[in-house]
Amino acid sequence: MTLVHLLAIFGLLYSIELAFYAYAARLSRRRSAMKKEPVARPRVSVIVAAKDEEKDLPACLESLVKLDYPQELLEVIIVNDQSGDSTAAVIDGFSANYGFVKRVDAVSGSEMRGKANALSQGIDAANGEYIFLTDADCSVPTTWVSGTLKYFSDDTGIVGGVTLISETGNEVAGVQALDWDFLLSVGAGAATVGKPVACLGNNLVFRKRAYEDVGGYRNIKFSVTEDYALFKSIAGSGRWSYSYPMDRETLVQTLPVKTLKAVFEQRRRWATGGKDTGLFGIVTLAPGFLFHWAIIVSAFLAPAWFAVFLLLKIILDAAFVVPTLRYYGKIGHLKFILGFEIYYLIYVAILPFSVYLGKSITWKGRKY
């Protein structure tokens, strides 16, 4: 079998995979359009784990205090995760002006490590029936709480949401933006057809009762992606259903990291935490991995075919992501498609090797 045959076969598999996820993402958007506002207004708690976030936390808090939800039914808990900067002072400044903003100081615990430890202590202090998680470098829409509650039926335990990059002032940020557009379309689509392979803790909501049913973070095996571990635990408990909608009302926006090295380390952390996604996760990754490697090899052995199949891949990827960009008003991200393709070609090809053969993960100054 020649290289061209392999390119054609892997390209076909990749096309089929993208078509499947394009259908699933479209289904998610259509279902979102049919959701109605909930009648009941339960008490909710928003929790943010903040470690050395003096720079980004104010914008996050500004968005949280503007939520269109009754303040008497809302509490915002910022967990100061042993910060060495003025994060605590930032929290206290908002607490002085908004009575529903509270500070919890995380302490080191023997049971848990990292962010899960901080989140667990915040959840323990929460009085809400529903727990909303986001990150200090994120901004939420005013409709975040009311929009997400639409997706909780009587048996729904956890709801994930889409997060996209807010700023694309340079090529590094633009490449990240398209990567998030692409990955979150796959993630939401997969969950919509009953196969959750990812979620993000900066836009994650669950019933506190569902959290307690699975024993919370104390009962979940440690993971560098504690958000996905919790999602899997609740969704796989057999007692609770889940949802992962693509909905403008629940779109959270996050800041990009500053360097491509930092982008790769972030993706390596995500991939390390997602190693146990099972057979469906492997099947999801395989066509892209094989097609990317075949394209890279063709660049050296068959340059003409490299150009043909790289162009084909750009067309396929653009066709897949454009509906998401249009839906969320992010069509400007498409101008970074060429840079994204170079980055995406390399990182998809080498990421599995880095995850399984690479060194430990360092995140927020902690090594795992």
Give tens-digit pLDDT for 131-150.
999 999 999 999 999 999 99
Highest mean pLDDT among 54-63, 269-278, 356-365: 54-63
What confidence score (pLDDT) does residue 49 get? Answer: 95
What confidence score (pLDDT) does residue 74 get? Answer: 97
Report whether pLDDT(12) > 90: yes
Summarize the confidence of residues 277-292 as an average pLDDT. 77
What confidence score (pLDDT) does residue 224 get? Answer: 58
Give tens-digit pLDDT for 78-129.
999 989 999 999 999 999 999 999 999 999 865 667 788 999 999 999 999 9
Report whether pLDDT(50) > 60: yes
HSE-CB of 146 using CA atoms within 13 angstroms: 13
What pTM, to 2 d.p., does this model score?
0.90
What's the CA gap between 368 and 362, in Å, rounded? 6
What confidence score (pLDDT) does residue 168 get? Answer: 85
What confidence score (pLDDT) does residue 277 get? Answer: 62
Backbone conformation region of residue 133, classed left if phi is above 0, alpha if psi is from -120 to 50, else beta: beta
The string of DSSP codes covering 15-73 is HHHHHHHHHHHHHHHHHHHT----S----EEEEEEESS-TTTHHHHHHHHTT-SS-GGG
3-state secondary structure at position 190: helix
Give tens-digit pLDDT for 212-228.
999 988 888 766 567 88
Q: Residue 263 — pLDDT band, cuts 50, 70, 90?
A: confident
Higher pLDDT, 252 or 262: 252
What confidence score (pLDDT) does residue 1 get? Answer: 72
